[in-house]
Amino acid sequence: MQRVNAAFYLFIFTIIIFIGGCSEPCTYPNPGSSKIRLVNAMVDVPKITVFINGKAFKTDYDYVPLPSFGYYPTMADGSPIFAGDSLPIVITSDAAGKDTVMKKYVSLSLDRQTLVVAGRRTRKQISDPDTRTIIRLNDEEGEVVKEKTVARFVQAVPDFAAIDIFFVDTSQTPDLITLFGSVNYGESIPHKVLPENDGMIITEKGNFSNVIIEVPYPFEVKNLLATIVVRGAAKAIDSEPLAAPFAFTDLDFNGYTIDFETSGIRFVNGMRNQQLSLLVSNPGENVPRNKVPGQEPVLEIGADSISKYFGLGTASFRKTNWYFSKTREVFDTIYSYFDSVYKYQRLTMVAVAGTGVNDVSHLTLIDTMSFAQNGSTRVRVVNISPDHATIGFTLDGKTVSMSIKDVEYFTVPYGTYKITFFEGTSSNTYTLNVNQSGRPITMFILPDKIGESYPVAVSDE
């Protein structure tokens, strides 16, 4: 689950709108002056070059928006932007226009409009759908509603066929969670008035437990007309950015955007019989909190368990204080450490047991492993067992010997593997099924249990 702090961004957004936005009645530019705004939502092409009808429109346009994000009234050479039906738009990964990513035919009008270039260029499996697309939005369709927030949502996360958008009212018991709308991939829903709320939740459609992002603060700005593009990768591969909303006003001025940059963190409790909570605190503080603004701790995770991912907001992209606690209370901390977190990064924080009762250390793993192709999968093996000085095994012809907190990597074809872990005469065999999803796999060798040596927990990345 990803949670971010929206309060600061919405405050700044309000100031910008006050300074640069229009007040009723709004005066729009001459409809003959076509303007285009561009959003790069390609998860594996960080910079795109856009050609419209054979001419360069924008070169090396970054995934990260410029502070001056807004409309462009001309092509790259200063000539007018063409308007017409089924114009060829070519996307390349290079400014020279030689490495074509996609070619689509899009109709452009004389209205202010936004082009969202979305999808994943490289399909990881032949059976994967082609998600490359260009979404055209007419930015003059919505209207400001006095004292209300009006927004439309665009689904640009290629890992999901559709998403659900919910708004939360915490004044009810239990919380009232209302479905605002569902959006298919490559599509948008029209501008609508947002309900008064205490937060927003975006999930995979029909699967409320699969949360893309949660904003645990009121998401509303008076007199705001906005577009919210949900973009990025649900499970990032290599350097792909994580799925998160990118919000901007549809009023006609260049300026501030809200880019909900997040990092995904999960927790592996490698203790024998000790439930743990992973707590965090604001950078520079030495006291953990149950709930830090923009950061939600993983609470009460059982031994030998792997949590879901939770999100850290932009305030934590630096040295952060981490705490392993026996409960969700700060006074029960048994271990603490510092670690850096960066935007779009996915990490696994591991509590590693020692030989003593409260003997514990930690291990931080970067989860953006490379994605093997041609019928193979990347497998990562992590030894967090304190019960053996070394653990040996063979996987797909490669034999290794691992000490505690060692990490080994393998690339193996799809299939079923019998892996025998051993130290001296002690051994145990584990069956690993490498299925054809092709996603990287991590195997954690856990502390021994009564009657079981070398237990294993497996997760995909």
pLDDT in tens, 96-132: 999 999 999 999 998 899 999 999 998 877 778 999 9
Q: State whether 356 and 446 are in the same domain.
A: no
**Distance between CA atoms of 155 and 118, rounded to whole angstroms?**
9
Per-residue pLDDT tens over the stretch 55-102: 999 999 999 888 888 999 999 999 999 888 999 999 999 999 999 999
% pLDDT > 70, the chain = 82
Is 1 within the bounds of a domain? no
CATH number for position 334? 2.60.40
Is 88 within the bounds of a domain? yes
Q: State whether 401 and 361 are in the same domain.
A: no
Q: State whether 237 and 165 are in the same domain.
A: yes
Q: State whether 120 and 216 are in the same domain.
A: yes
Between 257 and 8, the higher pLDDT residue: 257
C-alpha dihedral, 203 to 207 to 211 to 216, nearest 10°? 70
Gyration radius from the chain CA atoms: 25
Is 396 within the bounds of a domain? yes
Q: Which residue has the tokens 């955007």?
A: 257
Q: State whether 325 and 450 are in the same domain.
A: no
Structural domains in the chain (count): 3
Is 2 within the bounds of a domain? no
Q: State whether 279 and 228 are in the same domain.
A: no
Last residue of a domain, one of 330, 349, 368: 368
Q: Which residue has the tokens 């017409």?
A: 84
Last residue of a domain, one of 259, 274, 304: 259
Q: State whether 414 and 445 are in the same domain.
A: yes
What are the tokens at 394?
């063979």
Last residue of a domain, one of 306, 337, 368: 368
Q: State whether 381 and 288 are in the same domain.
A: no
Q: State whether 408 and 303 are in the same domain.
A: no
pTM of the model: 0.72
Q: State whether 51 and 177 are in the same domain.
A: yes
Burial class (CB in 10 A: 0-12, 13-18, 19+), 326: middle
Q: State whether 278 and 394 are in the same domain.
A: no
For residue 375, give Cα distances in angstroms to 158, 244, 369, 419, 460: 21, 30, 16, 20, 16
Q: Domain range spanning residue 133?
A: 7-259
Statement: residue 31 has pLDDT above 50:
no
Statement: residue 277 has pLDDT above 70:
yes
Q: State whether 228 and 148 are in the same domain.
A: yes
